[in-house]
Amino acid sequence: QTADIGLVGLGTMGAALALNIADHGYRIAVFNRTAARTTEFVAAAGPLGERIFPSTDLGAFVRSLARPRKIILMVPAGQPVDDQIAALEPHLEPGDIVIDCGNANFADTNRRAAEAEQKPWRFFGVGVSGGEEGARHGPSMMAGGDPSIWEETRGIFTAIAARHTDGTPCAAWMGEGGAGHFVKMVHNGIEYADMQMIAEIYGLLRDGHGWDAGRIGELFAQWNEGQLKSYLVEITAAVARTADPRTGEPLLDRIVDQAGQKGTGRWTVIEAQHLGTPVPVIEAAVAARNMSARMALREAGEARFGRAARAIGGDADPARLERALIAGKILCYAQGFAMLRRAAADYGWALPMAEIARVWRAGCIIRSAMLDDMAAALESDPENLVFADRFAGLLSETVADLRAIVGAAIANGHPVPSLYAGLGWFDQLRQRRSTANLIQGQRDYFGRHGFQLFGEDGEQHGPWAD
C-alpha cells in the first residue's frame, strides 16, 4: 500500500499539516531529520495514525509514495530547503513533484522552479498562512508554479484548506514560479501593517486617554461585531482582556514591548522598492517593529528629551477611532493590492486579484469580513482599490476621522506612523499638482538630469548650468 502524498519536516507547521491531510482521508508518508520526532509524532497521532506512514530513512520514505510522488517540504526557508531537495534528488523519478510549503522568499522559488526545469522531477511553491491552528484545521494556501502541477495537486490542497462560510476553499493557483510565495509575502506585509495600526489605536487609548487593558479589550470585542470584524481584532480583544493568572493584573501590561519578526515584512518592503510601488503603511510597520526592538535607545531618548506623549483632552471617541481604523485598513490593503498588481505586470504573472482577496477570507491571519467586499470590488479590476465604488464611498465616510485622529495624535506626541503613512499616501494620491517639479529642478541643477515643461515637448535644462 502506497501513500498519496509525503511530507518532510514534522515541526510545528509540518506536523499540523500532516494531521490535517490524514484527517481528510489521505494516506500520508512522513519523514523528519531527527527520527525521534517522527516516532513522537506518530505516537501522538491517535486514530489518524492508521493513515500515516512514517519512515526514518529518506529513500524508504520516497519509495512509500504513489507515483508520481508528491512531496511537501515544511522545513525552515532558505538553505534547509535546498539541502533537503539535494538529499531527496537521488531518490526522485521523472514526474515526481517537490512542493515547498514553507515561507520561501519568492526569488528562491523562482530559482528552484527554473533549476527544476533542467531536471526530470518538478518543483512547486505554496505559501501557507494561518499558523499551527490553520495548518491543522484549514490554512489559506497560495500556490505557484506550473499550472499542470496545480491541476494534479489541487484536489488535496482544496480539501485541506480553510473554507469561507460560502463553501469556497481558500486555496488557489496564483501564477508561475514564485507567484504563490510572492502573494504570501505580501499577505505577511499587510499582516504587519494591520497589527501596527491596531497597536497604534491601542496606544492612543492607553496613553492618550488612560484606558486600561480590559476596557480596551471590550472595545475591540465590540468592533469585532462591526465593519472591522477580523481575526486580528478578535485576538486583540482576547489578548487585552487576559489577566496574568498569577496576579490577576492585565497580562498585556506585563508583556515586554519589543516586537519580534522573521523577515517577511521586511521582504515585502524590499520587493516594493524593487517594483517602485509605494507601500508606506507596511514600511512604517516594519520600521516600528525595528524601533520597538531598540529599547535602550528609546529609554535614552525619553530620558534626554522627555516623553512626547501626553493626555489627549476629553475622553476617547470610540466611533471616531473605529472609523479611523477602517480608513487606515482600506488604505493599507489598497497599497498591498497595488503592489500585487504591479508585480503581476513586471513579472508577467496573471495574478488573480479578486481570487487573492477570496483566498485571504478564511484560514489566514489577515482574514476579515472586509475582504469579502474587497474580493467583490477587485472583480472589476480597478486601477486601485480606493477607486472601487464601495471603498471610495467608505473612505469618504471615514477619512476625515482618520485625519482627526492622526492630527490629535501628532499634536499630543503619540506615534502613529502607520496610520499617518496611509493618510499621507492618500493625500498624495489626491494631489494632481505635486511638489516634484522642485525635485526635478534640483536634479537638473546638480546633475543635469533634465526636466519637462508643461505644454512643451522634449527634455529641457535650467539656465543654472552655466
The answer to whether 164 is annotated as binding is no
For ligand NDP, the closer of residues 77 and 332 by Cβ is: 77
**By beta-carbon distance, which residue lies closest to ligand NDP?**
11
Q: Spot the catalytic one: 50, 117, 152, 184.
A: 184
Of 133 and 346, CB closest to ligand NDP: 133
Nearer to ligand NDP, 13 or 22 (CB): 13
In the complex, least distance from residue 130 CB atom to ligand NDP, rounded to whole angstroms:
7
Q: How far apart are CA 52 and CA 13, in angstroms?
A: 16
The one-character DSSP state at 30 is E
Distances (CA, A) of 211 to 258, 287, 317: 21, 26, 12
13 assigned to a ligand binding site = yes
Which residues lie across from 305 on neighbouring strands?
none
- Residues whose CB falls within 8 Å of the CB of residue 384, separated by 6 or more in sequence, listed in order: 334, 337, 338, 429
25 is in an annotated binding site: no
Pick between residue 77 and residue 399 the one whose CB is nearest to ligand NDP.
Answer: 77
Distance CA(240)–CA(249), nearest Å, equals 11
Q: Is 68 annotated as a binding residue?
A: no
- Three-class DSSP category at 29: strand
Q: How far apart are CA 375 and CA 360, in angstroms?
A: 9
Q: What is the DSSP letter of 48?
A: G
Residue 184 falls in the annotated catalytic set: yes
Nearer to ligand NDP, 20 or 398 (CB): 20
CB of 156 to ligand NDP, least distance (A): 17
Is 449 annotated as a binding-site member? Answer: yes
The answer to whether the annotation marks 430 as part of a ligand binding site is: no
Residue 298 assigned as binding residue = no
Q: Rounded to whole angstroms, what are the CA distances from 431 to 165, 398, 425?
A: 40, 19, 10
Residues lying near ligand NDP in the complex (CB under 6 A) are found at: 9-14, 32-34, 37, 74-77, 80, 83-84, 102-103, 128-129, 131-132
Closest listed residue to residue 17, CA positions, set 76, 79, 72, 55 = 72
CA distances (Å), origin 238, targets 259, 376, 426: 18, 30, 32
- Quote the least distance from Cβ 14 to ligand NDP, whole Å: 5
What is the rounded distance in angstroms from the CA atom of residue 117 to the CA atom of residue 114? 5
Minimum distance of ligand NDP from residue 27's CB (angstroms): 20
- Cα dihedral: 199, 202, 207, 210 (round 10): -170
- The reply to whether 110 sits in an annotated binding site is no
Shortest Cβ 9–ligand NDP spacing (Å):
4
Q: Which of 115, 152, 191, 229 is catalytic?
A: 191
Residue 191 annotated as catalytic: yes
Report the distance separating Cα 227 and Cα 239, nearest Å. 20
- 368 annotated ligand-binding residue: no
Separation in Å, CA 70 to CA 33, 103, 297: 18, 19, 50
Q: Is the dihedral of CA 310, 316, 317, 318 positive or negative?
A: positive
C-alpha cell at 54: 512514517
CB-facing half-sphere around the CA of 381: CA atoms within 13 A? 6
What's the closest the beta carbon of residue 351 comes to ligand NDP, in angstroms?
20
Q: If 0-12 CB within 10 Å is exposed, 13-18 middle and 19+ buried, where does residue 291 land?
A: middle
Query: What's the gap between Cα 405 and its chain centre?
Result: 26
For ligand NDP, the closer of residues 76 and 462 by Cβ is 76
In terms of Cβ atoms closer than 10 Å to its own Cβ (0-12, 13-18, 19+), residue 411 is exposed
Tell whether 11 is in a known binding site. yes
Nearest distance, CB of residue 85 and ligand NDP, angstroms: 10
Least distance in angstroms from the C-beta of 423 to ligand NDP: 31
By beta-carbon proximity to ligand NDP, the closer residue of 27 and 187 is 187
Between 240 and 364, CB nearer to ligand NDP: 364
Tell me whether the omega of the peptide bond preceding residue 68 falls within 30 degrees of 0, making it cis: yes
SS3 123: strand
Which residues participate in the annotated binding site for substrate?
A: 103, 129-131, 187-188, 192, 262, 289, 443, 449
| Catalytic positions, written as ranges | 184, 191
Which residues participate in the annotated binding site for NADP(+)?
A: 9-14, 32-34, 75-77, 103
Which residues participate in the annotated binding site?
A: 9-14, 32-34, 75-77, 103, 129-131, 187-188, 192, 262, 289, 443, 449
